[in-house]
Amino acid sequence: MTKRDVMIYTRYERFWHWSQAVLIFTLFFTGLRIHDLHPWLKFGQAVTLHTYAAYALMGLWVFTTFWNFTTGQWRQYLFKKGIFKVIRFYAWGILVGEPHPYKKTLQRKQNALQSLAYMTFMVVIGPALWLTGIAYLFYNEWAGADWSGDALWVIAVSHTMAAFAMGTFVIIHIYMTTTGKTPLHYVKTMITGYDKVELSEVEEAYLAETKSVEMR
Amino acid sequence: MKRFFPFMGRWLLALALAIWLPGLAQASSTADHSKFESLKGPFASAPEVTKACLACHTEASHQVMKSIHWTWDFTNPDTGKRLGKPRTMNSFCGSPLSNEPRCTSCHAGYGWTDARQQPEPVQENVDCLVCHDRSGGYKKVATDAGHPLYEPRVMGGKSVMPPDLAKAAQSVADPGRDNCGACHFNGGGGDGVKHGDLDTSLVKPSRQLDVHMAADGANMTCATCHTFNDHIPSGSRYDTTAKDPHGLDLPKDDHNRATCESCHGDTPHKQAKLNDHTDRVACQTCHIPEFARGGVATKTWWDWSTAGRKDADGKAVFIKDDHGHLSYSAEKGDFQYGENVRPTYYWYNGVTEQVNVGDKFDDSQILRLNKLHGDSKDPKARIWPFKEMRGKQPYDPELKTLVVNHVFGKDDAAFWGNYDYAKSIKFGMDYAGLPWSGKIGFIETRMTWPITHMVAPKEDALKCGQCHTKDENGRLAQLPGFYMPGRDSIRWLDFVGLLALGGALAGVVVHGLARIVMNRKTRHD
């Protein structure tokens, strides 16, 4: 077993991650303005930005869903055992210098807690936002219905709730990036794509031969 | 799916303007009325002018006699109720009954001295000149049941000359803003008093005041929008088109351009999000941010209950405010005025319930003289801007009806002379033939006047954030019942959401500090 610098986040994954980050920040900031929780934009500007960013993010998600399934990367997000060990680590072990209970490998980039968090992000918070968002965006197409007044309340409130959940996720997510080897280690990894991963000899030889994953 | 054809509206608007405006600007006619022998006069009276007009325009008087300008009689198609000035009450002067020669000075005819009956159908009594005089000299005198002066008369200490009827007759053309304004700008007894969005500043408005009627704007007249068909005007406050599903009038013209949609359609904005508003928000709501913007104040409060005060010498009291407006008049009571007034907003589907003079009402609350129909659940209703007129009016506290007050006349019962409500109301009620208990009370009233004129240039329209705000001073803060982004939220849910965000922030800060404090090797790969 040797440790090698391996490209674990491909160019598309990094593009996906960072463009999604920018869009989510934009959406959260403009969304709070639309909800009249801060004054740092005009309402009309906030709506316009929010709308464009929403379309962009939905486009990005369509591509990413396609990418996740064609590359098989979607399996990374499946439920893994050992989640309580990970939770225990972040709650206590990390403070007293215990080793992380999880070993990152090429086939398992995420620990159990990460998988669960990202899965929740992708199948609960995300869809709650875009489903209500699309309904909201096209309000005028169903405004004529008898139930539209009540439905708008439900949609708007659900959208707001999901947005708060997203905001909470992002805060914790950003903090978690500081728990690496150095506080900026994970951020660097997400920028360069490379991280040190333990490879078996067979894996190393295979990657070196096929160049299916970049390694340095 | 009109949102996918945003250019359609602009194209049709351009076409419409190309067709209509040149005709208006040139006002060219195949007849030069100054060359007609029959119009050279001299005319001893205004009906003689009408007779000359009718010699060629054989159907004109018959057409006018069918219009509300002549009949003052209208049956509301929505409520089935018979309306019109002789019976429908407003919160200004009250009733024209028993005050005819004064109030019927704005009748489109001559000599209607008894408004209890329809004006007599005498052809020559139709007033052509009040609408068609373009000499600017013709004027109906305020007290002569629609006639102009025929002899010089001393009024307000000044000698006033009668108009040159021959000159007026030879000047006739399509009505200008000043023609309609002669009556409509002065409703309620003076300039700008009644409507708030109609006053003499609209004779020559700036572009800022009225983008359509300004000479450097579209230079339209009233009739450009209030299309006349056989002398019948379109557009009505009794029966309002609160939402025009017909939309653009071209290529198929409904001969009624008295809605914004007639020319602008219902998707007039470049931005789809703005067009999304037009089904629920009237154009006027955003595009007339304030009314009475032309420098003429409009009356906002009229309290008849204080009228009749005399000073120690027994002289009637009149007090003017700093702007030269009467703030108190012994003839009429206390007044308040407003300029650049922010409208009051209500849902409105165009159906209005008016109060007629004999109608019973509940006097335990403020009386609404015209109840607006429509709410957020009514697909035909939109949010409209209104001038909300407030005041107090005499009523019969036993029969619970409004009363006819005889204010004008040379007799000793007229309020504007004897200042005695008991006498003037008895006279008025007897004249109208209505029951009266003999008691007089004063009831506070409200009357809502749809604001639709004084459309500002688009750069002065309301901004999104003036409605979409949690500010309790927001434009629509008083209009609940529907979800509006920026204004509405479930407070406790926002609280929980912010608590989650704050909790997460606090949590990571504490966790981070703990990591630093513990100061151990915490890194891993």
Task: Reply yes or no on domain A2-210 having CATH 3.40.50.850.
Answer: no
Q: What is the pLDDT of residue B3?
A: 44
- Vertex B305 angle, CA B300 and B308, to 5°: 110
The string of pLDDT tens digits covering residues A66-112 is 999 999 888 888 888 888 888 888 888 888 888 888 877 777 778 88
Nearest Cα of chain B lies from the Cα of A5 at a distance, in angstroms, of 12
Nearest Cα of chain B lies from the Cα of A27 at a distance, in angstroms, of 15
- Chain B hits for A140, CB-CB cut-off 8 Å, are 3, 276, 279
The token duo for B173 is 């053309």
The token duo for B53 is 């007009």
Hey, are the CB atoms on A149 and B505 less than 8 Å from each other?
A: no
Nearest Cα of chain B lies from the Cα of A62 at a distance, in angstroms, of 24
**Rounded distance, CA B177 to CA B222, Å?**
6
Hey, are the CB atoms on B501 and A164 less than 8 Å from each other?
A: yes
Q: How many CA atoms lie within 13 A of B411 on its CB side?
A: 12
**Rounded distance, CA A150 to CA A154, Å?**
7
Residue B500: in which H helix or E strand, if any?
A: helix B491-518
The string of pLDDT tens digits covering residues B249-268 is 776 777 888 899 999 998 99
C-alpha A128 chain-centroid distance: 15
- Chain B hits for A104, CB-CB cut-off 8 Å, are 525
DSSP letters, A37-95, are S--SS-HHHHHHHHHHHHHHHHHHHHHHHHHHHHHSGGGGGS--S-HHHHHHIIIIIHH
Q: Where are the domains of chain A?
A: 2-210
Length of chain B: 525
Q: How many CA atoms lie within 13 A of B224 on its CB side?
A: 23
Instruction: Provide the domain limits for residue B508.
Output: 491-519
Residues A179, B513: contact at Cβ < 8 Å? no
- Nearest CB neighbour to A96, from listed B470, B508, B520: B520
What crossing angle do the helices spanning A148-176 and A11-34 adopt, rounded to 10°? 130
**Rounded distance, CA B257 to CA B241, Å?**
11
By C-alpha distance, which of B157, B108, B114, B115 is closest to B133? B108
Domain count, chain B: 1
pLDDT at residue A180 greater than cutoff 50: yes
Residue B505: inside a domain, yes or no?
yes
Tell me whether the omega of the peptide bond preceding residue B205 falls within 30 degrees of 0, making it cis: no
CA distance readout (Å), B393 to B238, B309, B429: 21, 16, 15
ipTM over 0.95: no
Residue B339: inside a domain, yes or no?
no
Residue B214: inside a domain, yes or no?
no
Output the furthest CA–CA distance in chain B (Å, rounded): 113
Q: What is the pLDDT of residue B66?
A: 96
**Rounded distance, CA B17 to CA B14, Å?**
5
Residue B508: inside a domain, yes or no?
yes
Residue B509: inside a domain, yes or no?
yes
- Chain A hits for B512, CB-CB cut-off 8 Å, are 175, 178
- Chain A hits for B482, CB-CB cut-off 8 Å, are 149, 152
Residue B510: inside a domain, yes or no?
yes
- Vertex B469 angle, CA B467 and B473, to 5°: 75
pLDDT at residue A152 greater than cutoff 60: yes
**Rounded distance, CA A204 to CA A4, Å?**
8
Nearest Cα of chain A lies from the Cα of B421 at a distance, in angstroms, of 50
- Nearest CB neighbour to A95, from listed B469, B487, B514: B514
- Nearest CB neighbour to A99, from listed B496, B497, B524: B524
Chain A residue whose CA is closest to B505: A171
The token duo for B127 is 């007033």
The string of pLDDT tens digits covering residues B116-149 is 999 999 999 999 999 999 999 999 999 999 999 9
- Chain B hits for A156, CB-CB cut-off 8 Å, are 483, 485, 488
**Rounded distance, CA B85 to CA B93, Å?**
11
Q: Which residues of chain B have pLDDT under 50?
A: 1-7, 22-26, 522-525
The token duo for B433 is 């033939």
**Rounded distance, CA A110 to CA B172, Å?**
88
Q: Is B2 on the interface with A (CB under 8 A)?
A: no
Radius of gyration of chain B (CA): 28
Chain B residue whose CA is closest to A34: B486
**Rounded distance, CA B276 to CA B269, Å?**
9
Residue B497: inside a domain, yes or no?
yes
Residue B513: inside a domain, yes or no?
yes
Enumerate residues 6+ apart whose C-beta is below 8 A from B410.
B417
Nearest Cα of chain A lies from the Cα of B474 at a distance, in angstroms, of 12
Q: What is the pLDDT of residue B522?
A: 46
Beta-bridge partner residues of B346: B384
